[in-house]
Amino acid sequence: MLKASNIVKSFSGNEILRGISLEVERGELISIIGPSGCGKSTFLRCLNFLEHPDAGDVQVENVKLASHGAWRRADEAQAHRLRSHVGMVFQSFNLFPHRTVLENVMLAPMQVKGLEEGKAHKIACELLEKVGLSAVKGRYPDRLSGGQQQRAAIARALAMKPSVMLYDEPTSALDPELSEEVLSVMRALDAEGMTQLVVTHDMRFARAASDRVLFMEAGQIVESGDPDVIFANPREAGTRRFLRTLL
């Protein structure tokens, strides 16, 4: 349902992604791990064209967007179609601080999809219920704990009914207990069959919850496979080196 082919991206002459390809099955939970600067966040951001890749193409559901240097108006429209299938959650939450939690969740469905307020409200309440924030939905984001904010951000992304969710280090800014609140939401989504890609440093989560783990190094996917196999018995030297440093 998501297919990325040969994604290349450089920042001021530094090649950050060196031709990455990936195919994701519906319902999969994939963790992307690797040392800092290996390009895993950039790769994730290329999947919804938050970062425009220099080359390669991305297909989500039936929407395919190829990169060919210059960005054109037609590409913007196609990116818009593509993003309608993709939700994203950030390390720093990026909730809109001038709106309540409920408004954060209702905003895009109403403005982007043109949903009427009553309907958007109903969806938002259901989602906030699901991530355990019903009690605080009237609050402004800075009155929530980090874990609550991240769960609100997940609800906000889900409100657009994406078919795949991208998480860019969702728990890196959180204490372990607060992380657990977020990870359990992600596990619950997995159980419902949501397709999820997670860039993470949380190896326990990657190992326990993922269907598949990708290990990235220097702009390439070095190794991928069943988490138990990768963590217990990594094939590549780079993977072994990386996992050893974590212990």
The residues binding another protein (CB under 8 A) are 48, 50, 80, 83-84, 86-88, 90, 92, 94-100, 107-108, 111-112, 138-140, 142-143, 153, 156-157, 160
For the record, the structure tokens of 211 come out as: 């269907």
Amino acid at 197: L
What's the closest the beta carbon of residue 14 comes to another protein, in angstroms?
20
Toward another protein, which CB reaches closer, 162 or 227? 162
CA distances from 226 to 5, 212, 234 (A): 21, 5, 10
Q: What gap in Å lies between CA 186 and CA 121, rounded to an integer?
A: 22
Q: What's the min distance (Å) between Cβ of 173 and another protein?
A: 12
* 40/156 with CB nearer another protein: 156
Residue with smaller CB distance to another protein, 109 or 238:
109
- How far apart, in whole angstroms, are the C-alpha atoms of residue 15 and residue 8? 8
Nearest approach in angstroms of CB 227 to another protein is: 27
The smaller minimum CB distance to another protein, of residues 133 and 230, is found at: 133
Least distance (Å) between residue 98 CB and another protein: 5
Short-list 174, 178, 172, CA closest to 198 = 172
The 8-class DSSP code of residue 216 comes to E
